[in-house]
Every structure is written in structure tokens, then in C-alpha cells.
Structure 1
Amino acid sequence: MNGCFLVFEGPEGAGKSLQIGRLAERLSACGAPHTVTREPGGTAAAEAIRSVLLDRPELRLDGIAELLLFSASRRAHVEEVIRPALERGEVVLCDRFELSTRVYQGWARGVDAKTIERVTRAATGGLLPDLYLVLDVPVKVGLGRQWQDEDDPGQLAFFGPAPDRIELEKRSFRERVREGYRELAAEDERIVLVDGSGTPDEVEARILALLEERSPDRFAAANFPL
């Protein structure tokens, strides 16, 4: 069976990492070969760039600088991790890909779409996922999952590790991010919005139902039970 490239997307607090982990566990239980990876990251070079992009909130980076750094990371990631795994026939589960660039640097930061397209094509060689699963939650829900007080992020306790540079953005930025995902999903059949509210079990059930609908040969319930 050919490889399958699935990308999980969504705003902060949507639950991407949790659902990727759950799907990976199911693939392991079925003996299905798969690779779990993330952006920015996945290779030594890409992880180093990730540190600059996310772990240094004091750095001042505009949308173009972010675009170029994310794209440099993506180039290494695609060539060293994603393409080889797909060529081996694996399912690749990726936490973010170029859709994040279109949303965060394009929709939310205001970088021109044509500029993003040119740079991204150079980085990916035209590689696109089979499906983007965008976990869609209201901004208030995402903030509430991350901060003790969703109305004042950055001032009170953050659930989990210290917030990265993007997670420290204002609520208005998060609103633009969610709007961008919803607008792009309306234009591209590869991008599917999945209701990310409710319990993890409920969200997982929605994802599995969608995967069975889109790719029954690989994700049929008989071989990949709920």
C-alpha cells in the first residue's frame, strides 16, 4: 500500500498532539508502519530552527523572517523524514505543515499569499498531504485549556511547559488564526474541519470516522476498530 500523509492542524489548545498520539497507538496496535513527526522539527537542523522560532520569545521576528525560518526547517524535514517514510509505504502523522504557514504567517501576520506559495514550493518540492485534519475549537476553549485565565494570557499560570513565542500572542492573533483555518478549509477539499470540542474520546471518534470515510481501504473499522 502506498504511503499516506496526514497532517494535524489547528490553533493553540486544539488538542493536536493528544490526537496524534492516540492515532499512533492505534496504528501500532494494528501493526501498521507509521512515522510521527512535527513542525518545526523532525531533524537536527529543523529542531535547531525550532528553538529560534519558538523558544526565544525575546527575539523580534516579523512574518517574512518566520516564513523563511519555517521553510528552511520544512526543507530538511521533507527530504530527511517525510518523503523517505512515504516511499516506504508508511502513514506519516505530522503535527503541522505548510497550512500553518499559510494561516499564521499569511492570514495572521499578513505575508502575501504568492510569496508564501513560492517559498513553500521551493521548500517542499510540491509535496502536499493527503489530508489536513484541522481541529477547530473556539479561541476561548483553546485558551482555557492552556491558561488559568483565558482573558489575560501571559500573566497567569500556563498549563504544561512554559509557553512558546506563538502561544504568548494576544487573543486577537488567535482569532485571526482560527478565521484563517476556517476560510482556507472552505476553499480546499484537502482541508477538513474537525470539531475539537468535547472529550478526547469524542474528538478521536470524529477523526476515526472521517478517516474511514476518506480512506476505507486503510482505515476501515473492521481492521482499525473504534
Structure 2
Amino acid sequence: MKGLFVTFEGAEGSGKSTQIKLLEDYLKKKGKRVLVLREPGSTKFSEDLRRVLLDKRNGFLSEKTELLLYLAARAQLVKEKIIPALKEKKIVLCDRFQDSTLVYQGYGLGLDRKVIELLGRFVSEGARPDLTFLLDIPAQEGLRRAGGASDRIQERPLAYHRRVRNGYLKLGSENPKRIKVIKAKDIQNTQEEIRKLIKEFLLKHL
């Protein structure tokens, strides 16, 4: 039996980090071994790239440079953390993965999504999410919750963030078995819905 790879996706201000922490606590109380990761990040190299990618002073980065840096961060995370954890039969909870790249750099920036998919498969080494929670929130509300343009991505125009949200919803409609779209309501109700869905998934697959 392999581990379980669960990803959380959503636009800015959707509350992913909060929900991941609550789910981590819940699963650990149930006796599960859990590893929480984030993209880009969770390795020294990937965290270095995160700082580069989010720094407002790096607005000169081209769209393709941005894409390749995200993919480099993912390649290291997969090799260093995700694959070993899954081999140890842990539950991996990851804040963003390939869906984010498809949406932010594909739908958001207009890069070729087929190329993004191909490169994503290359760097992921077969690591694919078993289950994805997509926390949906209108772009303007999400940016308000996030507290304004605190990094290079958040300061992009509202139209960009609307494309991101629409891209997420399209992915959700195309992959309903894996991607569970959840309206980003209040924290408690959102968490209850997540727990219900993951309990159902665990009963069927583990």
C-alpha cells in the first residue's frame, strides 16, 4: 500500500493554509502519519526559489522564466520530500502542485498548457495527487482576504486573478473524480466538508 497524496488548490486568499493545518491536526489525532508541504518551498533550494518568485523586485522575470523556476522548485520537492514520504506510506498534504502551474502560468499568463502539462509530468516523476481540494473564491474577495498586493503574484491586475479562478473551475469540471470544488465559506464549515470528503476517500481507497 502506498501513501496518499492530497493537494490543496485555490486562488489568493482562499484559505488553503488554514484548512491544511486543521486537516493535519484531525488526521494526526486519527493516528495517521502526515507530512505537510508547500509549493514552491519545503526544501532549502525550493524555498530559495520561492523568495525569488514572490519578490516584488523581480517583476522583470519573463513568463517562461517564471514557469521554469516553479518547475525546478517542484522537481526538488518531489525528489527530496514527496516520493520518500509516499514510499513510507504517509499522507502528504501539499499546498499547491501542478494544477497551480496550469492555472497561474497557463490560464493566467497565457503560456501553452500542453507544454506545461508535459514539463509537469517530467518533473513530477510519476507523483500525482490522489485527491485535490479546490477552495473556490471570487478573485476580488480573495485578494481582499489576502490583504492586498503583498507579493509579485498578488499585485497582478484583477483580470489576471479572474483568469486564474476561471482556469481552476475549468480544471475542476474536467476532473471531478480527483478535484473536489469547495466554496471557501467560513473556516469551520469548509473544514467539515473537507473532512467528510477525505473520510469517504479513505474508506474507498485505503
TM-score, structure 2 as length reference: 0.94
Q: Distance in 1 between matches of 2:126 and 2:204?
A: 25
After superposition, the Cα gap between the structure-2 partners of 1:218 and 1:27, relative to the gap in structure 1 and judged at 3 Å, is farther
Residue type of the alignment partner of 1:178:
R
Structure 1 or 2, whichever has the larger Rg, is 1
Residue type of the alignment partner of 1:208:
R
- Per the alignment, residue 174 of structure 1 pairs with 161
User: How far 1:91 sits from its partner (Å)?
Assistant: 0.3
- Per the alignment, residue 192 of structure 1 pairs with 180
Matches within 5 A, 1:71-82: 71-82=71-82
User: How far 1:217 sits from its partner (Å)?
Assistant: 5.6
Q: Distance in 1 between matches of 2:58 and 2:45?
A: 21
Q: Distance in 2 between matches of 1:40 and 1:14?
A: 17
- Per the alignment, residue 137 of structure 1 pairs with 137
User: How far 1:209 sits from its partner (Å)?
Assistant: 1.3
Matches within 5 A, 1:93-104: 93-104=93-104
User: How far 1:218 sits from its partner (Å)?
Assistant: 7.4
Q: Distance in 2 between matches of 1:194 and 1:213?
A: 15
- Per the alignment, residue 115 of structure 2 pairs with 115
Higher RCO, 1 vs 2 (CA within 8 Å, ≥6 residues apart): 2
Q: Distance in 1 between matches of 2:26 and 2:97?
A: 22
- Maintained 8 Å contact 1:212/1:218: no
Identity %: 41
SS of 1:13's partner is coil
Unaligned runs of 5+ in 2: none
C-alpha RMSD of the superposition:
1.6
- Maintained 8 Å contact 1:36/1:92: yes
Unaligned runs of 5+ in 1: 148-152, 155-162, 220-226
Residue type of the alignment partner of 2:5:
F
